[in-house]
Structure 1
Amino acid sequence: MATTVYFATNRIVNHPADWHGSYTFGMVSPDNPLQVTYGTAFVDSAGLTADKTGAINSIQDLQKGGFSPMAFNDLADGGRNILVFIHGFANSFEDAITRAAFNREWFADCGVPDADTAVVAFSWPSRGQVITPPFPTLAYRSDQKAAGNSGMHLMRFFANLMPILEKARSNGRRTFLLAHSMGNLALQGAVDAWFANGNGDALLFDEAILAAPDIVDSAFMAPAALTSLSRLARRISILYSNGDKVLDILSENLNGTKRLGQDGPRGRDDIALFPEATYRMVDCGGFTDYVADFQGSHQYYRRSEGVRTALAALMAP
């Protein structure tokens, strides 16, 4: 059985129907969102596990610049809640799509009705290279630049998604965002671009979940862009872990600043900054039900069943 993943990508795509190497780590022009590729991927769900990426079977319904009418109607009137997924660093296009499929299937089977969603992935142009000791900084810095430069594309993706989300919500559905690792850097850029381009408050998401965010820990302090995320999401949950070796050993040292995914946001106990009605802090450092090696410690959002259960609970009304 195949899992459906609707997607958009600002990667340069050579042959859209051929996903083997055609979805590059080059980026389309930030000034031309009509170059962004939208489509629908079908993933072999039988091969999906927390540690394996599975396989794409086919890619269909391709077009540039926005969702096709078929994808629009499938999402808006499909009868399921909607999960938007933004991957982290070291993810190829295939990684991003198959991990979106894994998230969809696990949540669908977790016993939380609201977590049974249709999934939409945004794939920014990560190089897809695994980062292991000794640390080659080229791949990390390349991904960081790509994520940081994807804000305008991600903002236009949100704008194209908004009428879908509004129609789905009018049909009684709920909408979620899950951003992992460096995907939160792209998210930060999109929030900044949203308001810088004259857009107003909009209820895009009922719940925005930021997992192991690889951005500075002051990202929710003015004038940083994520202070405005609460104008686009009803509730925000931040997953962090002091056992995240990638953030502790690699990211903090390269960036010279504490990361949001290490101990949560700076000032997290200040209820004036983080009112409980809007923000939830989820400490994932105590979960031991997964292999927390260098790479694995940063992937707890999908490798730890306990974290996934906690994450699904966040999606309950």
Structure 2
Amino acid sequence: MHDPAPPTPLLSSTRLPNAHGYRGRFAPSPTGPLHMGSLLAALGSWLLARQAGGEWLVRIEDLDPPREVPGASDLQLATLAAFGLEPDQPPVRQSDRHALYRDALDRLLAAGHAFPCSCTRSDLTTQGGIHRQCVATVPRPHPAFRLRVHDAGLTSFEDGLQGEVRQDVASEVGDFVLLRADGYWAYQLAVVVDDAAQGITDVVRGADLLDSTPRQILLQRALDLPTPRYLHLPLVLDADGRKLSKSSAALPVDPADPLPALRLCWALLGQDQAPLRGANSPDALLRCALAHFDGSRLPARLHFHEAATTTGSTDPE
């Protein structure tokens, strides 16, 4: 049974900026400098928000200290500014929002939607790594906490670019982690709580997060939170079909010379390059881009682009 009265901190009092509001966001993890893949997601989400007359926010997803690079978040924010991609509100950091995640977990536990789990990865080997019931024989002093996923069939949604997406979360993913045994919050819980708290209406991000979305929808339902619209942009791949963040070609974009990377992202977004030829500054290019942006030209897939190997890529979020 769902908790009948979600506490107000999870929901923004200004969820919609206007009656037909659009609020998007870009949410990088501070694991290194921005690369072509992250810039593609940033520019794509900015263009769609601006075209809709909406707001565009930035959130630093810094909940995994072992993977974080010192100073990376400040460098990412400075790079966005150099590229002319300024958010409409001050950026927020997930590391400042632990109380919101704890509140959400407490509500899920009270409603019976979440439970402590001492299972390790090796414990789940015989189940293909998918948790459907606890099999650990020794309780951990600090267990993980998981969402209880029922055998409810397919969870589906209509992606703005990839079309209908369906997933049987119970059989393909299982009961997924909300709070890790090492004490770190899981991405799935944090992103759902933050999108609701910030009033995000439209999530535009890379397609590597497409299969995370059904899990997030289940969490939204369990917490009685709204489900935003989703649009997953294609990934930038290297010549071997690997995401550039995992490739030797993954060079960071250059904040001292933003125009080449902005033009390449514009092309990778399927847009006509001719209107941007006279733009000689990031602000001029973005004004031109917004005036000529055609969302119907966004590609659902990307073939390898030779120029991308000289500019690089990383995780879209």
Structure number with greater CO (CA < 8 Å, separation at least 6) is 2
Which protein has the larger Cα radius of gyration, Structure 1 or Structure 2?
2
When normalised by structure 1's length, the TM-score is 0.29
When normalised by structure 2's length, the TM-score is 0.29
Q: From the two aligned structures, give the one with the greater strand fraction.
A: 1
